[in-house]
Structure 1
Amino acid sequence: MTDKIHTLRYSDIFLAMYFNEEMSCLHRNHSHVLVYIYSGELEINERGKITRLRRGECAFIRKDIGVQMIKKAHNGKQFKAIFLMFTAKFLRDFYNRLNRTTLPKEAKRNKISLYKLPANRPDILSLFESMKPYFDSNIRPTDELLQLKMIEGVYVLLHTSKSLYASIFDFADPWKIDILEFLEQNYMNDLSMEEIANYTGRSLSTFKRDFKKYSSLSPQKWLIQRRLEAAHELINKGGRKVSEICYDVGFKNLSHFSKIYKEMFGVTPTEKIKS
């Protein structure tokens, strides 16, 4: 077998194949993700909590969760997985077609960001095994088929837990701007919490309350973590000075940036660049 990486992407469905070599990446998903493992192993590290997925296992990863993913072969089998990515637009369209009277009113969004689904469920096997032939074929699935698979994926989640209703349909009232979308676009800007709340159509107290639905971190800590992750990505790409990266991602003090970068990644930015 070769160690070449093969990836396929169709619409909002991302199919990825990785051969023998172990691949590690820092990943932040801007959409909710449903991942299914055909072979190999996916190790997900969420702030020290390790979850391993192997053949036939499936998990839901909530959007805005920064995780370290390690994709590798297992028992001599190459890593092979499929990712369904549910964009806000797709979920809004889906939600607008639902009969609202059937929605569980008692559903509450929990703080679980990585949800491992029960194994060997017929609906999960039916959804993902039907996509397997596209790994080994040059035939592109039609847009209509992909749409059906995305819809199947949503129903897999809705039939798993009532709490997932509140997670996947987590968009705010129509007049409010999505908090995470706004922060992703503006985390590097020097904005106060009051300004962020105002820009997203909320009072400060409502903003803080709504933010708790998305993260167990405070808004300030979320911003610091997001800036550090962005800095880490830029440092790994190379070609930039530490000072440039520091200010570009939103930090004002270079020594403070170096200190908290080391706390998160174990080395200073300068040491990371030299390594």
Structure 2
Amino acid sequence: MDHISTYLTKEIKLSSYDDKLFKSDLMFDDHMLIWFISGETKIILAEATYYFKTGDIFLIPRNQLATIVNYPKNGQPHKTVVMHLATERLKRFYEKIELKGRVTPEQTIFSFTNHPLLASCLASLIPYFDVRGEFPESIATLKITEAITILREIDKTVDSVLANFDEPGKIDLIDFMQRNFMFNMPMEKLGYLTGRSLSTFNRDFRKFFNTTPQKWLTEKRLELAYYQLAKKKEKTHRSISRSRF
């Protein structure tokens, strides 16, 4: 697989996949602002599936479990500009801003397709990737600050994500696992997202499910694979049956 990432700084990169596709289960530690230059992406969450293509811009929140499928398209690589909106940088940004009311976090993907302000901001980064030597942190800060300011201007609800600095609290383990078992994540990550240490996660899991997380996940994923295979066979059978008449 030919994957090339060119970094301006650790928070800004140009990413390119030249192979047929890339698929992975991921959880981002930072909010990710992504602008598509070419290619397509499918993002599968527990509750919804999103599709993005050339020209699209979206923000995916941190601590969001997702299956990411990246495709080259029409002979062009899957190419994106990616900006990490790190928690520490966002804290510094919001220090000077008085927010009205309690910020309630949203776990949804924000779409800003072809918005001229945001597209111009991210497109302006492209020439910088040809600059040799260390990229000035001061300029990177200006560009990230510009992007955050534009996001807040074009979507008044985005503070619910960007200004929420809480770590995941202890949540209903049964509900979480039933909704997210298909994502292949380390147990430490699953524990973190449910507000538990690894030892507490394992202990609570045995209490609620009467088995180990590893065994339960294996069984659930086999059930899902069997169900998907059965649905595929059923669909093929219906298609063949219709073609006979």
Q: Per-residue CA shift, 1:114-166, capped at 9, x if unaligned?
A: 1111x332211211111122445545432111111111121122022221112
Verify: 1:179 aligned to 2:147, yes or no.
no
Deviation at 1:45, TM superposition (A): 1.0
After superposition, residues 127-138 of structure 1 pair within 5 angstroms as 127-135=121-129, 138=132
Aligned position for 2:59: 60
Contact 2:42 2:50 in 1 (8 A): yes
CA RMSD of aligned residues (A): 3.4
Aligned position for 2:185: 230
Q: Per-residue CA shift, 1:217-239, capped at 9, x if unaligned?
A: x35544784897434899xxxxx
Note the residue ranges of structure 2 that are not aligned, 5 or more in a row. Answer: 190-197, 227-245
Note the residue ranges of structure 1 that are not aligned, 5 or more in a row. Answer: 172-177, 184-192, 194-207, 209-217, 235-245, 269-275
After superposition, residues 11-160 of structure 1 pair within 5 angstroms as 11-47=10-46, 49-98=48-97, 100=98, 103=99, 105=100, 109=104, 111-117=106-112, 119-135=113-129, 138=132, 140-160=134-154
After superposition, residues 208-247 of structure 1 pair within 5 angstroms as 218=172, 221-222=175-176, 225=180, 229-231=184-186
Deviation at 1:257, TM superposition (A): 3.4
Contact 1:37 1:81 in 2 (8 A): yes
Name the amino acid aligned to 1:152. E
Q: TM-score, normalised by structure 2?
A: 0.71
Q: TM-score, normalised by structure 1?
A: 0.64
Contact 1:11 1:146 in 2 (8 A): no
* CA–CA separation in structure 1 for the residues paired with 2:42 and 2:182: 24
Contact 1:261 1:267 in 2 (8 A): no
Aligned position for 2:5: 7
Alignment CA distance shift 1:233-1:107 (3 Å): closer
Name the amino acid aligned to 2:44. N
Of 206, 215, 218, which residue of structure 2 is paired with 1:258?
A: 215
Name the amino acid aligned to 1:7. S
Question: Aligned to 2:118, what secondary structure does the other structure show?
Answer: helix
Percent identity between the aligned chains? 18
Alignment CA distance shift 1:255-1:151 (3 Å): closer
Alignment CA distance shift 1:85-1:163 (3 Å): same
Deviation at 1:31, TM superposition (A): 1.5
Alignment CA distance shift 1:108-1:154 (3 Å): same
Deviation at 1:14, TM superposition (A): 3.3
Alignment CA distance shift 1:254-1:112 (3 Å): closer
* CA–CA separation in structure 1 for the residues paired with 2:181 and 2:91: 26
Choose between structure 1 and 2 for higher RCO, CA contacts under 8 A separated by at least 6 residues.
2
